[in-house]
Chains A and B, each alone.
Chain A
């Protein structure tokens, strides 16, 4: 089946540790995105990538990093510089950057 997978579903991290969230898609989409969702709020864009080996900062990129070495994969690293990382993280992809986005099931990150 085609789709987007995110792992793990739940992730716990100690303060001061970096952690990487996985996002994989087999839809052959060029564009991929990372969003953060906090309770009672809409989605905020962290990073996006229009094509392999290229990515752009979104509205809240500080404390996060990404890579796009393969078309199928767009991992997000939450670094220790991110002041308040506890949140729900959603990955999405689209055929190109102007198309509708398809979402993965999300990862809930909790900093202990």
Chain B
């Protein structure tokens, strides 16, 4: 799986958009970008994934650069409950080894 780089922490004002960056310059052509988050003392929660097109769901939007070397997770209207560690993971979705390799992630703190 390709290595990812994320800032260790970010703050965001409640109600504003939270933009979380992720660098994955060694991503290969068949690897997807996944985002998970982990609220304190809970298990990780899937947010969104994408290959090369921008994706949006009820939780967030994922913007992947054209060269696919970086991406941004956007929480359009952050709430206090969005305070969590956000993990960007790059991997091939299929295959026998489908475990997730978690990096250090970004601690997002949403401020009132």
A and B assemble together:
no
Tell me the B residues contacting A by CB distance below 8 Å. none
Tell me the A residues contacting B by CB distance below 8 Å. none
